[in-house]
Amino acid sequence: MATARSSDGTNVHFQVLGRPSSPPVLLVPGLGEDLVGWTLQRVAFAPRYRTIAFDNRGVGRSDKPPGPYTLDQMVADAVAVLDAAGVESAHVVGLSMGGVISQALGVMHPSRVRSLTLVCTACRNHPWRRQLLEEWAHTAATRGMRVCSHEAMRWLVGPRSLRRFAPALGMVGPLALQCPPHGFVAQIEALLSADESLADRLAEVRVPTLVVAGNQDILTPRGDAEEIAERIAGAELVVISGAAHGLTFEHASTFNRIVLDFLGRSEQAWRRLRPVA
């Protein structure tokens, strides 16, 4: 088991799949989700890339210190994982909360990022989403993760998949039940700690950026993706038809194809522009 030690002493669990000589891709998970949520991507990406997936603090095999957490701490965790894996810079793929962490990583540590893929995410919290996250935190703290996961499912999964896969999604999908309530609440507090400065600083991002949204996503609607793409010069926006917030597993083949194409083009651009030693 590989472990990185973050700047405040928190141990962060990560796993690497793929050849050491391949271009590195860092996979940043969403709220309440551990690295298992990236399984379909790790398998698809590993033949071409060195995939590095980790558990955010508060979930999985990473430490679960008392909250609140901050966005800066979670960015520091991602940097610690890159350091522990011996990676100077990587293509960064972030889902939902992981997309927020990835945006902040691109702004705060631009030299560590070759490209950004921002999936089902936003650069700021609208009042309605802030209220929803606060309600989830209250439910998790007072009634437990099983109840919270059940109530949140309709926000995370498309209606067709919800009918087909509801019994399994509680175990392997977003808001995994192995996430303890205090860790889940602390992650929400990190999300809520992000202010308007993140959105304002996206104009500083200079790496190739892909923004992916689902046209049925009600938690981070298309408008959020469009705002991010408008703020980052040259960003590409892809909207997957019929996809909701869980598109990385609901529409895995389509998502993987789109991202692999983008990663290939981005790696070529990075190699052309990298300084010659």
| Residue range 50-64, pLDDT digits in tens | 999 999 999 999 999
At residue 252 the predicted structure's pLDDT band, cuts being 50, 70 and 90, is very high
Q: For the residues 29-41, what does the mean pLDDT come to?
A: 94
The range of the structural domain enclosing residue 179 comes to: 2-273
pLDDT at 157: 76
Query: Does position 151 have pLDDT exceeding 60, yes or no?
Result: yes
* Cα(127)–Cα(132) distance, integer angstroms: 9
Residues 6+ apart with CB under 8 A from 66: 182, 186
Segment 254-262 mean pLDDT? 98
Pairwise pLDDT comparison (217 vs 168), residue with the higher score: 217
157 burial via Cβ count (<10 Å: 0-12, 13-18, 19+): buried
Q: How confident is the model at residue 194 (pLDDT cuts 50, 70, 90)?
A: confident
Provide the domain count of the chain.
1
pLDDT at residue number 174: 47
**What percent of the chain is modeled with pLDDT above 90?**
82
Question: Is-contact 154 243, C-beta < 8 A?
Answer: no
Q: In this structure, what CATH number is given to the domain that contains residue 227?
A: 3.40.50.1820
Residue 1 has pLDDT above 80, yes or no: no
pTM of the complete model: 0.93
**CB count in 10 Å sphere of residue 108:** 17
Q: What is the DSSP string of 106-132?
A: HHH-GGGEEEEEEES--SS--HHHHHH
| pLDDT attached to residue 155 | 82
Share of the chain above pLDDT 70, in %: 91
**For tokens 């002493």, what's the residue?**
9
Q: How far apart are CA 101 and CA 121, in angstroms?
A: 10
